[in-house]
Structure 1
């Protein structure tokens, strides 16, 4: 469990961990509408790529907060939890972590994401983009909560990464790099 968590957190919290991976956070649909209109306005041609870069950088910074929360959830495992993970679904460990840590992770991620977005001026940049968009005649005014969307997408990517590592450990004997992993999952292989 700790291996899957460490692997996912380390990968996504590294530079370009989100940005240059399948977990790259793209803009929400309503933001895409704004961006498509803004790209034709001089000075806003690169608005989409700039916002996406800043959004993903904020998610990478937030991801570094996940490991201690996951480790704490792992330390809280009861014998029953361990048994359910071992005998449960192929993603039972990830389900356990989601159930026991999602809310806390959300609470830790969002302030980091907001702070980071502010640090990289992404929220200001987004506000400028939305304000400019809202001056275009005959368009519906837009004001999406970008930080909620980014937090949810960052956590979605993190849990997906943990789940992939869990499946890899369960299905590939070579991924069981410790004696404990080999002993625990040997039972499942029979």
Structure 2
């Protein structure tokens, strides 16, 4: 997602009264050079919107999960022995189709993440924002986890389930592991959709965390004057 629209995003989606960035900056206390509470809240909302849009855009792109070595969704560890057996029996193609379907489902589901994050951002209070600014390297990501996990799960599950059904992955998974669990001391979760949904959401939060670190630590990532003011302040540095 391009940054170009973000210059006016505060007026459209996050701030009451449609104040412009310049109007907000004019309230900066001249004596201290530090942002006031309103600026902090505005800057955090702008930063989180940038991070959420970028994260969702990357992961919803073709191969956003599938070719990402860190986030690619594979069979869960407890199923790897079964996977190995299936491959040795010449059924590797079936397993590969299931893995591809898991990642394609996650990529499709990621398209619905940004609006959910933006809704959480709209509800952020000034107290929330100050706590996030001073709360440590991943305070914003943790805020998202608390406020959006339930909504993301609701939005992601049907999309992922449909992707898996297209290749009969859910049926195959349930059939195989229902039998396997009868004889195993370490049963495998037969709900493949739930497993992939959890991994997809974890991937989204990982990318949001990456974006948060960029804005906190890299001045070049602060692409507006408001971000430079808030994240360059002593308050942001003294966490």
Q: Could you tell me the TM-score, scaled by structure 2's length? A: 0.71
- Contact 2:98/2:167 (CA < 8 Å) preserved in 1? no
User: 1:139/1:147 Cα in 2 relative to 1: closer, same or farther (>3 Å)?
Assistant: same
TM-superposed CA distance for 1:146, in Å, is: 1.2
Alignment pair present for 1:65 and 2:101: no
CA distances 1:26-71 after superposition (whole Å, capped 9, x unpaired): 11123222211111224x1323322111110011111111111000
Q: Please provide the CA RMSD for this pair.
A: 2.2
- 2:206 pairs with one of 149, 160, 164: 160
TM-superposed CA distance for 1:184, in Å, is: 1.1
Task: Considering Cα pairs closer than 8 Å and 6+ residues apart, tell me whether 1 or 2 has the greater RCO.
Answer: 1
Give 1:183's aligned residue: 229
Alignment pair present for 1:31 and 2:79: yes
- 2:89 pairs with one of 41, 47, 50: 41
- 1:114 pairs with one of 161, 165, 173: 161
- Contact 1:134/1:142 (CA < 8 Å) preserved in 2? no
Matches of 2:226 and 2:166 in 1, distance apart? 43
Aligned positions of 1:4-19 closer than 5 A: 4-19=51-66
Matches of 1:40 and 1:46 in 2, distance apart? 11
TM-superposed CA distance for 1:159, in Å, is: 0.2
Matches of 2:198 and 2:189 in 1, distance apart? 18
TM-superposed CA distance for 1:120, in Å, is: 3.8
> Mind listing any 5+ residue stretches in structure 2 that lack a counterpart?
1-47
Give 1:88's aligned residue: 135
Give 1:148's aligned residue: 194
> Mind listing any 5+ residue stretches in structure 1 that lack a counterpart?
none
Aligned length: 185
Greater Rg by CA:
2
User: 1:98/1:143 Cα in 2 relative to 1: closer, same or farther (>3 Å)?
Assistant: closer
TM-superposed CA distance for 1:123, in Å, is: 1.7
